[in-house]
Amino acid sequence: MGKRSKPGFWKRMQTRYKLSFFNENTLEEVWTLHLSRVGATVVTLVVVALIVVLVLSFVLGTPARTLLPGYLRTEDRRQMIDNTLRIDSLMNEMEIRDLYLANIRDILTGEIPADSLPPQNDTTRTWQPDILAKASQSSEAFAETYEQEERFMLNTLPKPDEGLVFYPPAKGAIIRDYDAGKTGFGILIQTTRRAAASAVLDGTVVSVSYTIEHGYVVVVQHNNNYMSIYRNNIEALRKEGDAVAAGEKIAIIGLPGESGNDAVAEFELWHAGKSLNPEEYIVF
């Protein structure tokens, strides 16, 4: 008797099977299902597809969609856009502020670069210095008399804004006088540690910075083109943009490396871009 040929793949897939369910107590057949392998595969795929559709409908149609990675709620997306715009605006403001403070620093330190344009001849000048007429004897006599009188006259011109009353920036004794930029542009005041530095006039704080050498440095812009600078502070009590009154505390004097109860405050006074001797304006 010859061997039976093995049925092919497609034949096996089309072979039908019977799946019966019986009552365990009565052994009565209660449900019967006839399926081939092809039918079982199709039914399985349909069931899986339905489950996927139901799950996606539930996730996308309910608040559960916020659990999906990368999904943002409408409020979160709107807040993110608003924060991005705010950050961009703040960066622009910071660039403008940094440029402004850099210009102030260059003015105070005298590091403003010279004009790169070459000097131009004055085209309005139509005379030559060497062809001017020689001064007459009467003119020379008047000039000599004027010089002699001025030599013995005291300068009685009032200082700018003589009516202003400057408050002392700190209580203490001056240990280094103003020397017109040889060792600095200000004076040194011996005071007690954690004493208060006070504004000398009404004004607005335009800069609060920190350096290793001088600690917190506070710059206050006043009316009439006056500016005051307070160095060697361990803490700043005001921030940029704050309005301050004359005599108001703006910083705590002291440096982290100082020992004991003594501290040294450094103070500078400027007017129209020129440093001034504070002792000529303030009673210490």
Q: What number is the average pLDDT over the span 62-85?
A: 72
Residue 146 lies in a domain: no
Confidence (pLDDT) at 167? 94
Q: Are residues 190 and 267 in the same domain?
A: yes
User: Does residue 169 register a pLDDT over 70?
Assistant: yes
| CA torsion angle 169 170 171 173 (round to 10) | -90
Q: Are residues 218 and 182 in the same domain?
A: yes
Residue 161 lies in a domain: no
Q: What number is the average pLDDT over the span 196-201?
A: 95
Confidence (pLDDT) at 117? 47
Report which of residues 2 and 22 the model is more confident about.
Answer: 22
Q: Name the domain count of the chain.
A: 3
CATH code, domain with 240: 2.70.70.10
Residue 177 lies in a domain: yes
Residue 163 lies in a domain: no
As a whole number of angstroms, the distance between CA 65 and CA 216 comes to: 51
Closest to 168 measured CA to CA, from 265, 281, 284: 284
Token output for 37: 């392998």
With beta carbons less than 8 A apart as the criterion, state whether 253 and 263 touch. yes
Confidence (pLDDT) at 233? 94
Q: Are residues 258 and 206 in the same domain?
A: yes
> Which residues span the domain enclosing 103?
74-111
User: Does residue 3 register a pLDDT over 60?
Assistant: no
What would the pLDDT profile of 128-153 be if each residue is shown by its tens digit?
444 445 556 666 666 666 566 555 44
Residue 147 lies in a domain: no
User: Does residue 25 register a pLDDT over 50?
Assistant: yes
Q: Are residues 41 and 82 in the same domain?
A: no
Q: Helix, strand, coil shares of the chain as percentages rounded to 5?
A: 35, 25, 40
Token output for 16: 């039908």
Residue 44 lies in a domain: yes
Least confident span in 178-182, 245-249, 250-254:
178-182
As a whole number of angstroms, the distance between CA 266 and CA 254 comes to: 10
Report which of residues 143 and 80 the model is more confident about.
Answer: 80
Residue 159 lies in a domain: no
Q: Are residues 56 and 98 in the same domain?
A: no
Q: Are residues 180 and 268 in the same domain?
A: yes
Confidence (pLDDT) at 158? 40
Least confident span in 79-88, 108-117, 169-178:
108-117
Q: Are residues 210 and 232 in the same domain?
A: yes
User: Does residue 102 register a pLDDT over 50?
Assistant: yes
Q: Are residues 200 and 246 in the same domain?
A: yes
